[in-house]
A and B are shown apart, each in its own frame.
Chain A
Amino acid sequence: MAFGNFDAVPKATKLLVAGGFGVGKTTLVGTISEIKPLRTEETLTEASIGIDNLDGLAKKTTTTVAMDFGRITISSNLVLYLFGTPGQDRFLFVWDELSTGAMGAVVLADTRRLDDSFPSIDYFEQRGMPFVVGVNCFDGARRYQPDEVRIALDLDPDVPVILCDARDRESVKSLLIALLRHAQHVAQQQRIPAGPAQLPA
């Protein structure tokens, strides 16, 4: 490709894939992505508290947060990125960056360790980010009904809970479409009070 061809620059958007460690986030991204999941790292320098405290310079620590992501080319002018969120609570400010402009999030849950999904659910609820819960059906794990999971996670009734297999392409496609339909509905609800005189598109 020659330089200077800007007609071909696509617009980018993103979805997030959250959930506890080892729940299958990167597997899910890899199942649907057109590229092998890539890893990007954010290096964070946590300066010690106190202004003009020279002692603090020695106490600066750097932490590396890794994020796996994949890409789906929707059309010649639209690319969708799927970001797996780093699991640790102390990286919530990375979540803030990831969430900005995201269309929605999947919270992947493992019924053997449902507690692991609470931090993600709390985060997206507080932020008002539309999300669905995908119950990753691991081989050998007892199958639960979506409503059992909903009760266990104390979810709002409108949050979709979907049984899925992060290794199965059709299953992941259905999960993402359910997320997008839900997020679209949430977006439509948010627009109603803003524009009483809006004409239908």
Chain B
Amino acid sequence: MEPSIQDETDELWVDADAGPVVRPYAMTRGRTQPTSGNFDLITIVVSVRAVSPVDVGLGPEHEAIVQLCRQPFSVAELSAHLNLPVGTVRVLLGDLLSRVLIVAHNPDPGMEPPGDDLFEAVINGIRQL
């Protein structure tokens, strides 16, 4: 049988270099700001529970975050591992936070300089590498 035109178009595979097939803003349904939470690049996120069937309206990216965050991950790491822009990850995290699927630990806001105990801890840690 001769290959049909349909078969030929099926061969037009798109690889990862072409970028995501779904645009990031489609995952967030057009939202650019999270509905809850304030996520710094080094805010540490941990999952509270698994996504269940009652959690309607969540996409595969939401589930991927919950799965990854069974161990603590920073927002920057989530963005890198999911290959999504930070802004998109923030919106998804806001959805998860408002459903209490995750907890987020924000870093010190940096309003005042760090204390000696933090400097000593980091210096000692680097020395021991």
Contacts and interface: CB of A to CB of B under 8 A. Distances in A.
A186 B114 CA distance: 10
Interface in A88-119: 97-98, 100-103
A186 B115 CA distance: 11
A78 B41 CA distance: 16
Given A13-B107, A45-B32, A103 B24 contact: no
A177 B127 contact: yes
12 contacts: A11-B44, A12-B105, A12-B107, A13-B118, A38-B80, A43-B87, A45-B32, A69-B80, A100-B40, A173-B129, A181-B123, A186-B113
Interface of B: 24, 32, 40-44, 46-50, 70-72, 74, 76-77, 79-81, 85-88, 103, 105, 107-110, 113-119, 121-127, 129
A97 B41 contact: yes
A64 interface: yes
Contact of B116 (A73, A173, A176, A184): A184
A180 interface: yes
Nearest to B50: A3
Given A3-B49, A43-B24, A78 B121 contact: yes
A88 to B, nearest CB: 17
Contacts of A74: 121-122, 124-126
Contact of A1 (B43, B70, B108, B113): B70
Chain A interface residue number, banded: 35 or more
Given A40-B76, A41-B86, 13 more contacts: A2-B70, A9-B46, A9-B72, A12-B42, A12-B43, A12-B107, A38-B76, A75-B125, A80-B122, A83-B41, A103-B119, A183-B119, A187-B115
A2 B46 CA distance: 11
A71 interface: yes
Given A6-B46, A180-B123, A71 B80 contact: no
A184 B119 contact: yes
B32 A3 contact: no
Nearest 5 CB-CB pairings of A with B: A74-B125, A101-B110, A187-B113, A38-B80, A184-B119
Contacts of B107: 11-14, 101
Contact of B110 (A3, A80, A102): A102
Q: Most B CB atoms within 10 A — which of A4, A32, A101, A180?
A: A101
A41 B46 CA distance: 21
A191 B119 CA distance: 14
A6 B103 contact: yes
B110 A42 contact: no
A1 B80 CA distance: 21
